[in-house]
């Protein structure tokens, strides 16, 4: 007879053989894939892939900038223009997962195809990771974790946070391995390998992985059959965590930590480098949490796991999932793994406490809420009382996912008009030129303000409160081999840097943020809120740049504004204008 898989859902004691072990056994054969799962999963995968098949350039906030950086890294050695302007950075930054995957992919596939393959890998691996973690915890493949499909197109993916999005899938797989290897000698070496890999994937992913492992180990000290809380046990667990963290911590502290601290210090206006700077930064960030508006943002960000393009649909999706879990619990169908519930609680706490931005990284808190959502689904198990109940759940899940996919796809398709508008503007740019990126200023009801959001169609801004077009001009580097100052190239954060002769043309802190167009004629009006004070790359723009690309020109013209002296309009589009700089 086939041995049944081990159930790790208790995790109040190390699972495995021996007296008092908390591991529970499921019925023989329960690990086999049930027919409903085998039928539903292919349909879910097809729905998740559909938007990536239909849309060449998905409107994901940071995504075009990441694509351009990969393209430069791929070709800068063979392209004289790129070699003159860029060089690869060998610093082991904790943000290299996209390069590690995309550089091989883009070597054999067209860049835009490789980018969509990468996003497909991110989504499918995350869903598989949630299913695998659920299987590891409860000893059987289940329909329930397929709810994770509703979280795949979340705020971080729509935000184009590419390394984090794929790293999330690896985190779930690594957590499954740690739990499955509990009590075995390979657990710590495998955990060390996972921690080092996740460091290079993304620093937040690594920190989240360690937080999950802390929850897994902590629950072993509570409940029936708990592990004795002795100095020896505590010291042994502390040494295990130290082994996991030692190499990543050394890499971070020795190479990246200083860069990020200095970046964040400049971003909040700090002017000194005293030993207490770190404490000052933490105090400043936490003080901001006392403001009511910060909590209003936090409440809105709770939709991050299901953030799509229709708030009513997003709220309904979240309520259906949570309501279904409550109903299943009341009916006695739902079990929960204590370790995962503790991890969920820790991520919820981090969501409310960790500031945004935090040491050079933006939209930090929403990542914790998304992690909590995936762990909530993967860390619970619903045993449906009948095949009819399972079929009803599957049908409802597919219906909801179909509606959400349709809404997302229609919005993505509408975005293609703006991509075409940019390409018409780019056709006027000769290769080997420098292009300043600007956008309509506050006087035109634009820039990163509430007025901007009210003046744009809903599909023209990513639902992380920044325009989805903001990084699209990075494609000028890809398609016209021209220099743009907004390309991700921050030392200590990116594996790409701008060569010294052109450092005064790149953004030092706020990567990717265009300059307010009003500053081209009135630079003295710059303020910290304009996101340009720490990096005045626009000063002397007539001598540095050959062209100015203006974003959201529809708002610019609606306000009756004209190009500043020294700029001649050569293309007027629906969203983009192109000006030639006259010398």
pLDDT average, residue stretch 545-561: 85
**Over the range 88-119, which residues count as b (16 or more CB within 10 Å of their CB) and which as e?**
ebebebbbbbbbebbbebbeeeebbebbbbbb
Q: How many CA atoms lie within 13 A of 513 on its CB side?
A: 22
Residues of the chain with pLDDT > 70: what percent? 76
Does the pLDDT at position 241 exceed 80? yes
Q: Is 447 left (phi over 0), alpha (psi -120 to 50) or beta?
A: left
Q: Return the pLDDT at 58.
A: 92
For 466-489, write each residue's pLDDT tens digit.
457 888 999 999 999 999 988 888
Measured CA distances, 264 to 269, 356, 359, 449 (Å): 9, 11, 5, 22
Does the pLDDT at position 72 exceed 70? yes
Does the pLDDT at position 145 exceed 80? yes
pLDDT average, residue stretch 433-456: 61
pLDDT average, residue stretch 251-264: 59
Q: Return the pLDDT at 223.
A: 73
Does the pLDDT at position 432 exceed 50? yes
DSSP code per residue over 25-83: EPPTTTTSPPHHHHHHHHHHHHHHHHHHHH-SS---TTHHHHHHHHHHHHHTTT-HHHH
Closest by CA to 76, choosing from 497, 375, 522, is 497
> Rounded to two decimals, what is the model's pTM?
0.86
Identify which has the larger pLDDT, 34 or 522: 522
To which residue do tokens 């994770």 refer? 148
Q: How far apart are CA 477 and CA 480, in angstroms?
A: 6
Bridge partner list, 244: none
Burial class (CB in 10 A: 0-12, 13-18, 19+), 501: exposed
Question: What confidence category does residue 527 fall into, taking pLDDT thresholds of 50, 70 and 90?
Answer: low
pLDDT average, residue stretch 420-449: 79
DSSP code per residue over 223-286: STTPPP--HHHHHHHHHHHHHHHHHHHHHIIIIIHHHHHHHHHHHTT-----TTHHHHHHHHHH
Identify which has the larger pLDDT, 107 or 268: 107
Q: Return the pLDDT at 207.
A: 92
Does the pLDDT at position 512 exceed 80? no
Share the mean pLDDT of the chain: 81
Measured CA distances, 384 to 335, 377, 381 (Å): 12, 15, 10
Count other Cβ atoms within 10 Å, centred on residue 572: 15
Q: Return the pLDDT at 66.
A: 94
Q: How far apart are CA 190 and CA 435, in angstroms?
A: 47
Q: Return the pLDDT at 266.
A: 35
Does the pLDDT at position 5 exceed 60? no
Q: Return the pLDDT at 411.
A: 86
Q: How far apart are CA 182 and CA 209, in angstroms?
A: 16
Does the pLDDT at position 452 exceed 90? no
Q: Return the pLDDT at 268.
A: 32
Q: Output the six-digit token pair for 386.
A: 């009948």
Q: Which of 64-78, 317-331, 377-391, 511-525 is the least confident region?
A: 511-525
């Amino acid at each position: 007879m086939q041995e049944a898989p081990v159930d790790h859902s208790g995790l109040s004691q190390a699972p495995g053989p021996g007296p008092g072990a908390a591991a529970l056994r499921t019925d023989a054969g329960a690990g086999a894939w049930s027919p409903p799962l085998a039928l539903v999963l292919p349909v879910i995968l097809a729905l998740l892939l559909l938007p990536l098949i239909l849309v060449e350039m998905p409107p994901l906030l940071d995504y075009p900038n990441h694509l351009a950086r990969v393209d430069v890294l791929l070709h800068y050695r063979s392209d004289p223009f790129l070699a003159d302007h860029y060089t690869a950075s060998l610093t082991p930054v904790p943000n290299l997962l996209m390069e590690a995957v995309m550089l091989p992919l883009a070597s054999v596939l067209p860049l835009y195809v490789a980018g969509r393959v990468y996003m497909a890998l991110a989504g499918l691996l995350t869903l598989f990771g949630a299913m695998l973690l659920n299987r590891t915890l409860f000893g059987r493949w289940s329909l329930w974790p397929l709810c994770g499909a509703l979280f795949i197109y979340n705020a971080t993916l729509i935000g184009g946070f590419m390394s984090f999005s794929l790293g999330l899938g690896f985190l779930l797989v690594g957590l499954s391995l740690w739990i499955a290897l509990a009590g075995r000698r390979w657990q710590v070496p495998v955990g060390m390998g996972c921690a080092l890999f996740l460091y290079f994937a993304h620093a937040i992913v690594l920190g989240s992985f360690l937080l999950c492992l802390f929850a897994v180990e902590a629950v072993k000290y509570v409940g029936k059959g708990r592990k004795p809380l002795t100095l020896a046990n505590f010291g042994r667990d502390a040494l295990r965590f130290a082994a996991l963290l030692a190499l990543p911590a050394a890499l971070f502290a020795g190479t990246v930590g200083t860069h990020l601290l200095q970046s964040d210090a400049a971003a909040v206006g700090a002017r000194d480098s005293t030993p207490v700077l770190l404490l000052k930064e933490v105090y400043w960030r936490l003080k901001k949490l006392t403001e009511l508006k910060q909590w209003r943002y936090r409440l809105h960000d709770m939709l991050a796991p299901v953030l799509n393009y229709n708030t009513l649909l997003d709220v309904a999706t979240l309520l259906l999932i949570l309501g279904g879990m409550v109903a299943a619990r009341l009916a006695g169908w739902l079990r929960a793994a204590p370790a995962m519930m503790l991890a969920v609680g820790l991520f919820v706490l981090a969501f409310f406490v960790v500031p945004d931005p935090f040491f050079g990284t933006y939209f930090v808190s929403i990542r914790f809420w998304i992690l909590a959502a995936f762990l909530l689904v993967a860390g619970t198990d619903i045993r449906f009382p009948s095949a009819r109940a399972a079929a009803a759940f599957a049908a409802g899940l597919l219906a909801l996912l179909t509606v959400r996919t349709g809404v997302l796809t229609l919005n993505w398709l509408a975005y293609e008009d703006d991509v075409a508008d940019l390409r018409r503007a780019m056709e006027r740019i000769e290769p080997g030129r420098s292009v300043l990126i600007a956008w309509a200023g506050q006087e035109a009801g634009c820039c990163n303000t509430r007025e901007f959001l009210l003046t744009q169609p809903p599909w023209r801004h990513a639902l992380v409160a920044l325009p989805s077009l903001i990084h699209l001009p990075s494609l000028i580097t890809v398609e016209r081999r021209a220099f743009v100052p907004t390309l991700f190239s921050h030392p200590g954060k990116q594996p790409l840097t701008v060569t010294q002769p052109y450092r005064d043309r790149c953004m030092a802190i706020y990567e990717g943020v265009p300059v307010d167009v009003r500053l081209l004629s009135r630079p003295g009006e710059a303020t910290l809120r304009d996101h340009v004070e720490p990096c005045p790359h626009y000063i002397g723009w007539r001598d540095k740049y050959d062209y100015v690309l203006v974003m959201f020109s529809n708002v610019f013209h609606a306000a009756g504004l004209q190009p500043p002296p020294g700029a001649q309009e050569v293309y007027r589009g629906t969203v983009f204008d192109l000006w030639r700089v006259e010398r």
